Structure 1
Amino acid sequence: MTDTPGWASPGSAPSSEGREPGASDPAEPADRPGDTAPAPQPDANAQGPGVKWTKEQPPPGQWSAPTGAPSPNQPPPPGPGWGGRPPTGPGPGGYAGPPPGHGGYAAWGGGWGGPPPAAKPGVIPLRPLGVGEILDGAVSTMRTYWRTVLGVSLAVALFTTTTLVVVQGYVLNNALAQVQLGSRDANPEDVYRALPDIMIGTGVVAVIAAVAVIIATALLTTITSRAVLGRPVNIAEAWRDARPQLPRLFGLILLLGLIVVGVMAAGVLPGILVVLAGGSAAAGAGLLALGLLGAGVLATWLVIRFCLATPALMLERQSIVKAMSRSAKLVRGSWWRTFGILLLTGLIVRIVQALVSIPFTVIGAAVSGDGINDLLGTGGGHPSWMSLIIQGVGALIGSTLTLPISAGVTVLLYIDQRIRREALDLELARAAGVQTPGTGTPGPVPGS
């Protein structure tokens, strides 16, 4: 039985009684040509020629009006563009066709329109997304909720950039001042003496940057997920939702980092062992290069395979292992597409950062005492404080603009994969308070 009385889906067969269950009899015509006396009552199932009107008509969609008298229930004749006979089955008004409000069928040609647009309560339509729609959704989130998004990214970028400038000014400059790395007079002993300070300073900056990016990713994931539903969120609400998952997120990032480091170490280990064992230097170098290449390929494959673990952990409240398993399941069969989208996003981010930072780098080199030498990296390896501050401002602006794009693309890619595999669009439509995608009326579209 169908949900709607009197309607059957196109192409469905009639019931065993010759009528769709729940269908009502069509109304008897007011004027019947040629009838001046009550008509006889033949068998209702008679379908032969010359049968006159009866009180009980055959099932809708299986009869035609008498010659010369068009029935009010008769469907309109096929117009231009109809590709052929429409599917059989009774419908509204006694003829076969799609239900009211349906977008029609493409195979019917120009007589019907295409499918209706998907509901779009937020920054993306609730259907499988293209690459452009994923990028546009990330930019629309930043543009529509700019106070919250830029507030988070600005705070993170300010903290990271300030730390970088301070560490580079106090630690790295002092270490690099002990040795002219770009000079022919550089002494290996000076290099080894400066190496611990350089590694410590670089490690401090990397750890602080990683912590800041993790927190920003957690907050921006929550904001983007709300933006998909068209619901604004402030920084306090985003922090309240993301805070319980932060320890697991730190553990996830640490585990993924250890996996990548382990893969790279395993790749270079054979070459190092050959060199340490006194083997041929050429053989050791070749084995080392081959190991790096293989390890790099494997590490890239693993990074893409687990790239959706962060949004899975944040939005599904999963554990670390289950989040990685969810990411592997969602990426399976779409590895190259995921890789291409993330690669394109990375290129766009790097281009934007370069366009923003290059002018500040040039200005910093111009106002510095070494001028063009600082810009080319031949000014002694320790730029002045003025140059560091100006370059830091450029890095701050670039990170503020690009961090929401990177995080937004990852979240929207996760949502897109779940829509394609798990029909998440239906759940999102219900959560947003709209009808089933494709039949409901889209709500207001923020940022469009």
Structure 2
Amino acid sequence: MNDTPGWASPGSTPSDGREPADSGGARSPEQPHQGGAQQPEPPSKWSKEQPPPGQWSAPAPHGPGQTPPPPPPGPGWGGHHPGGPGGHGGQGGGHGGWGAPGGWGTPWGGPPPAAKPGVIPLRPLGVGEILDGAVSTMRTYWRTVLGISLTVAVVTEIAVILLQGFVLDGTADTEALNDPNATLDELTQAMGTAMLGSAVVLLISLLGTIVATALLTSVTSRAVLGKPVTTAEAWREARPRLLKLLGLTLLLPLIAGAIVFVGVLPGLIVALIGEAEAGAGLAVLGGLAAFIVAIWLMIRFSLASPALMLEKQGVLKAMSRSVKLVRGSWWRVLGIQLLAAIIANIVASIIVIPFTFIAAALSGDGISGFLNNTTGDYGWTFLVVSGIGSVIGSMLTFPITAGVTVLLYVDQRIRREALDLELGRAAGLQGYGTHTPGATPGG
């Protein structure tokens, strides 16, 4: 299967089942002309690649009694899908159209635009189209998308605020981090407390992200077909996959962490033996190499989440599917994912940072105390106001990150597996991809 599908040629197959090369071309000189006076024959300088005006089939002579195939519709027709013969699967040549030798299709002005039943056209996508598709999903189905994002963000942030306000409010345990006279035991205890609190907050945020991603994956997949989905429908579709999605989301960081640990381990062993400087240098080099390997693997697994949700796959099978889809497009997937992450973080920062400064101004020692304080004890006012900013930021960033990942997955399947044919049929486009023989791989 070719990575980049082609365009199908227009024209219909003759009713007798013959290939267009066997059907009508220029009339034979011996064949009498129908309807009166003899017409002058075409100029002898016509090339075989450029038939006389009005003919659509290949310039090959046809036998007696055969009728040339009917001409296809004029410009703007949409009956044939650009994934037919000669298209995605690299099947046989077209029926005397855009792909025929000599450029016969130039009077049409090129292939017609791809069908667009939903937020993206059904063809390989550019970077801008993927980003625009994610934004269009949020704009077109804003009630469902923003409703899901807002609900998840509010529940998650309330849990985080309550945890920070009641459980992690013991700042005495972390004051040793700012005390230059603190003992090693005090510093270790303070660091452990801070890390435990951060880990719990991160886990709560991760759970919220998983739920939002699962629900928004269902919404975006329907948006590709132009079909709306309610929050209740999205929940019914996503609920059976949540535990597997949680396992996948936890497994990927563990794999990355294990790789980095293995890279640093030789340096740590050398340092423990007694060669501190050599061990430190070896640990840095090993950690850097392991970090690069971890990034490489994480990008290869980056499409596992939509594969798990939309193909109803298990965790390991979804990871395998992601590796297959990313193969040969690693740099492209990295660039699009990185661009989406940068955009999402910029949007979140524009919203969260002002709320944080407002929260600091309304509590404690003001903005100056906020800039100089590292304990994180600002009271309920700070937690609530800054939490409002976090909710708004998450409400806008969830749809961007989830939407880009799903649309990137769809784009890779269109390029590798002609998924656009299946999508066209699922969207109810008549005759879409019906001229492609066989089943669509991976459909």
Matches within 5 A, 1:12-411: 13-14=21-22, 29-32=34-37, 64=41, 75-76=52-53, 88-89=59-60, 99-101=72-74, 105=98, 107-108=103-104, 111-175=107-171, 178-179=174-175, 181-279=177-275, 281-378=276-373, 380-411=375-406
Counterpart secondary structure, 1:139: helix
Which piece of structure 1 moves more, 202-211 or 96-105?
Answer: 96-105
C-alpha distance in structure 2 between counterparts of 1:97 and 1:183, whole Å = 88
Unaligned runs of 5+ in 2: 1-11, 26-30, 45-50, 77-96, 436-443
Does the Cα contact within 8 Å between 2:247 and 2:315 map onto a contact in 1? yes
Code of the aligned partner of 1:202: S
Counterpart position of 1:4: 14
Deviation (angstroms), 1:5: 3.3
Shift of 1:164: 2.2
Q: State the Cα deviation string for residues 255-302 of structure 1 (Å, max 9, x = none).
A: 2232112112112212222222222x2212111211221121111111
- Letter matched to residue 424 of structure 1: L
Q: Distance in 2 between matches of 1:134 and 1:65?
A: 50
Cα displacement (A) at 1:218: 1.0
SS of corresponding position for 1:13:
helix
- Once the two structures are TM-superposed, the CA of residue 102 in structure 1 deviates from its matched residue by 6.4
* Deviations 1:381-438 (CA, angstroms, capped at 9, x unpaired): 4223212211111111001100111011111000000000000000000000013559
Over residues 169-189 of structure 1, what are the superposed CA-to-partner deviations in whole Å (9 max), with x where a residue is unaligned? 334441456515345444443
* 1:87, distance to aligned residue in structure 2 (A): 5.1
Q: Which whole-Å CA distance do the structure 2 matches of 1:212 and 1:319 have between them?
A: 21
Look up the SS of the partner of 1:181 in the other structure.
helix
Show CA shifts across 1:349-389 (max 9, x none): 11001101111111112112211234424365422321221
**What is the DSSP-based 3-state SS (H/G/I as helix, E as strand, rest coil) of the residue aligned with 2:73?**
coil
Contact 1:118–1:439 under 8 Å retained in 2: no
- Deviation digits for residues 216-246 of structure 1 (CA, Å, limit 9, x no counterpart): 1111111111110111101111111112222
RMSD, matched Cα: 3.3
CA distance in 2, matches of 1:211, 1:276: 38
Note the C-alpha offset of 1:190: 2.6
The answer on whether the counterparts of 2:13 and 2:69 sit within 8 Å (CA) in structure 1 is no
* DSSP 3-state at the match of 2:175: coil
Work out whether residues 181 and 381 of structure 1, in 8 Å CA contact, stay in contact via their aligned partners in 2.
Answer: no
Shift of 1:328: 0.4
TM-score, normalised via structure 1 length: 0.78
Residue 248 of structure 1: CA displacement?
1.8
Range with greater deviation from structure 2 (167-176 or 296-305):
167-176
1:3 is aligned with what amino acid? T
Deviation at 1:195, TM superposition (A): 2.9
Partners of 1:353 and 1:382 in 2: how far apart? 23
The structure with the larger Rg is 1
Counterpart AA for 1:420: R
Give the direction of change, closer, same or farther, for the CA distance of 1:137–1:94 in structure 2 (3 Å limit).
same
**One-letter code of the match for 2:166?**
Y
Instruction: Give the Cα separation in 2 of the matches to 1:4 and 1:191.
Output: 84
State how far apart, in whole Å, the 2-side matches of 1:377 and 1:430 are. Answer: 61
Quickly say closer, same or farther: Cα 1:27–1:305, change in 2 above 3 A: farther
TM-score (norm 2): 0.78
Question: What is the letter of the counterpart of residue 258 of structure 2?
Answer: G
Cα 1:378–1:307 change in 2 (3 A) is same
Question: Residue 41 of structure 2 aligns to which amino acid in structure 1?
Answer: S
Q: Percentage identity across aligned positions?
A: 55
Corresponding letter in the other structure for 2:14: T
- Which residue of structure 2 lines up, in the alignment, with residue 56 of structure 1? none
Q: Output the CA distance in 2 between the equivalents of 1:175 and 1:338.
A: 43
Change (3 A) 1:96 1:108: farther
> Any idea what the Cα deviations from partners look like across 1:2-56, whole Å, max 9, x if unmatched?
73338987xx5337xxx69xxxxx99643326xxxxxxxxxxxxxxxxxxx9xxx
